[in-house]
Amino acid sequence: MTTGSMSNAVCRILLVDDHKLLMEGVRSLLAPYAHLRVVGMASSGGEGVALAASLRPHLIVLDLGMPGMNGLETGRAVREVLPEAGIIIYTGHEDQRWLPELIDLGIIGHVRKSEAPGILLRAIEHARAGETFLTFPDPGGRVAAMLDQSRRQAESADADGLKTLSPREREIFRLLADGHSIKSVATKLIISPKTVETHKYNLLTKLRAKSVGDLMKIAIRNGVVNV
């Protein structure tokens, strides 16, 4: 999970599903648990991305089969605005058509809506502990192993890239990953915005990142910044 274990904190949860009654049911399911707090509910992918950016939940329970912007597209957009959030897929689809893309997305859980409601609660508790939880058939734990391997590979690549950073690059990396703008970093370090942009380009290259969102994910995975 991108946030690591959050078992010692109140888990802020965002529900994204085009079935409002189902979301109300999930909120009622979680209401008795003081350590679980539903901070928002979105009935479309676009609304889900906006609420993820503004509410900054720890965990997103995300439907796949939504009209317009589907769950996979929503998950990718969420990764851009809130890369540290854990994602649990909660879907009515019984097949695994999107599985390769979901593995690439780095989901922490996958629960079918046909399961008993308590199964979603179990998935959330596993996510809080940083553990993968899947309800579809996974002979020999193959898919869970793929998800874990994907995370380990990412962490290994991070370590290799981080070793190449200069002290100044590490400083700028930490500030960018902590949400500071180019202008803010320049002011803080008393350097020009152009110099910060150059360092940012070097950071993206060395850490094999495509965006500042990717830098944030790398920083969180490696404890450079706290969630």
pLDDT digits (tens, 9 = 90+) for 121-147: 999 998 888 777 887 655 556 666 666
Stretch 66-93: mean pLDDT: 89
Rg (CA), the chain: 18
Q: What is the pLDDT of residue 2?
A: 42
Tell me the pLDDT band of 1, cut-offs 50, 70 and 90: very low
Are 25 and 57 found together in one domain? yes
Considering the domain architecture, whether residues 32 and 72 belong to the same structural domain is answered as yes
The pLDDT score that the predictor gives to residue 151 is: 62
At 80-123, the pLDDT tens digits run 888 888 999 999 887 666 777 887 788 888 898 988 889 999 99
Q: From the CB of residue 91, how many other CB atoms can be counted at a distance below 10 Å? A: 23
227 within some domain:
no
Q: Does residue 122 lie within any of the structural domains?
A: yes
Region 38-50: mean pLDDT is 95
Q: How far apart are CA 197 and CA 217, in angstroms?
A: 19
Residues 84, 173 within the same domain: no
Residue 26, domain extent: 11-150
Is 157 domain-assigned? Answer: no
Number of domain units in the chain? 2
Is the domain of 201 the same as that of 132? Answer: no
Beta strands in 4-44 (DSSP E): 11-16, 36-42
What average pLDDT does range 18-25 have in this prediction? 94
What tens digit of pLDDT does each residue of 139-173 get? Answer: 556 666 666 666 666 666 667 788 888 999 999 99
| Confidence (pLDDT) at 27 | 95
Query: Looking at residue 196, which CATH number applies to its domain?
Result: 1.10.10.10
Q: What is the distance between the alpha carbons of residues 189 and 161, in angstroms, rounded to a whole number?
A: 23
Look at residues 98, 119, 150 and tell me which one is the last residue of a structural domain.
150
DSSP H/E element including 133: strand 133-134
Query: Domain containing 74 — which CATH number?
Result: 3.40.50.2300
Same domain, 145 and 170: no
pLDDT, tens digit, 9 for 90 and up, residues 200-222: 999 989 888 877 877 877 786 67
| 1 in any annotated domain | no
Q: In the structure, what pLDDT confidence band is assigned to residue 18 with cuts at 50, 70 and 90?
A: very high
Q: Where are the beta strands (DSSP E) in the chain?
A: 11-16, 36-42, 59-62, 86-91, 109-112, 133-134
Reported residue count of the chain is: 227
How is residue 221 annotated by DSSP? H
Q: Which has the higher per-residue pLDDT, 4 or 158?
A: 158
State which amino acid sits at residue 165.
L
Higher pLDDT: 60 or 109? It is: 60
| pLDDT value of position 225 | 64
